[in-house]
Structures are given as structure tokens and as C-alpha cells.
């Protein structure tokens, strides 16, 4: 039986466009292996200064709506003081203030206790860095 704390690092390739990557299946697979039907908490953490974690509906346009809203709130233009990288890259460094780089989710009976339409997603607007890591940690 796994111990009360287990962690795993996922390696995600996000591509050269802004993206909402659904992590729900990877989270469920991790829990199947390590939660063993137990209750607890799953922490999802992105150790990057330009990405965040969101719990949203995907597949119905909400992921595209989120990216459009972020472009409105954080335009990719030259207003940002942080200027290395692609034009507008400074806004990517502000993203985690709006979408934190973590989420802690309830686990019941070894499964994520999400609502019907909720998914766990990596949100990445930084087109300069296509290689991302996501740390999954189960405490139960």
C-alpha cells in the first residue's frame, strides 16, 4: 500500500500556441496508482513563472473563451516592462496572479471529486517555452 504522501512529475509539451491542456486523465491515472481508494487531497503544481492551473469546463468552447479573456485582460503587446522573449511576453509573467500555478482538489475513494463539467487544466500563454512540468502530489 502506498504511503500517505506520493508525488510524480509530468512532462507536458504545450506547443507553439497559447493552450489549455486538460490534465484530468493524467490526474486520475496518478490517483488510480497511488490513492488506492483512499480519501485525501491532490495538489497540482506548475513550477513555472508563466503558466497556471485552472479548473474549468473544456471541449465546449470554454477553454477558447478563457484564452480570449486572458488576451483581453493581459494583451500580448509592448506595454509590459518585462520584455525578453516574444513580443508581449511580459504578460505571461503576470498570468499566475490571475491563474495561480496550483490547485488543491478533494479526492474521495481514490477519485477526483470534481463537478460534472469540471476539468483540471494547465493554462499556458507562453509560446517561447513549449516544455512544461506539472507536479502531482497526493496526501491521504
What's the confidence (pLDDT) of residue 85?
Answer: 83
Alpha-carbon span 57 to 47, nearest angstrom: 23
Q: Set out the domains of the chain in order of their start, with CATH numbers.
A: 5-139 (2.60.120.460)
Going from the C-alpha of 111 to that of each of 28, 31, 95, 114, the distances in angstroms are 7, 7, 29, 9
Q: What's the whole-number mean pLDDT along residues 95-117?
A: 97
Nearest to 95 by CA among 66, 124, 122: 124
Alpha-carbon span 137 to 134, nearest angstrom: 10
The cell numbers describing 5, all together, are 504522501
Percent of the chain with pLDDT over 70: 99
The answer to whether the CB of 93 falls within 8 A of the CB of 52 is: no
The answer to whether the CB of 100 falls within 8 A of the CB of 48 is: no
- Render pLDDT for 26-53 as a digit per residue (tens, 0 to 9): 999 999 999 989 999 999 999 999 999 9
Nearest to 128 by CA among 16, 14, 38: 16
Instruction: Report whether pLDDT(113) > 60.
Output: yes
Alpha-carbon span 78 to 105, nearest angstrom: 36
Amino acid at each position: 500500500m502506498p504511503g500517505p504522501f506520493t508525488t510524480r512529475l509530468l512532462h507536458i509539451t504545450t506547443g507553439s500556441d497559447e493552450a489549455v491542456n486538460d490534465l484530468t486523465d493524467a490526474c486520475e491515472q496518478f490517483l488510480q496508482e497511488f490513492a488506492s481508494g483512499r480519501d485525501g487531497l491532490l495538489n497540482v503544481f506548475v513550477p513555472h513563472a508563466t503558466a497556471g492551473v485552472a479548473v474549468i469546463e473544456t471541449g465546449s468552447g470554454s477553454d477558447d473563451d478563457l484564452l480570449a479573456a486572458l488576451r483581453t485582460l493581459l494583451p500580448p503587446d509592448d506595454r509590459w516592462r518585462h520584455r525578453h522573449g516574444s513580443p508581449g511576453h511580459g504578460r505571461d509573467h503576470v498570468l499566475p496572479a490571475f491563474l495561480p500555478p496550483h490547485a488543491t482538489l478533494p479526492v474521495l475513494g481514490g477519485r477526483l471529486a470534481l463537478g460534472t463539467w469540471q476539468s483540471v487544466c494547465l493554462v499556458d500563454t507562453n509560446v517561447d517555452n513549449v516544455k512544461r512540468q506539472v507536479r502531482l502530489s497526493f496526501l491521504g
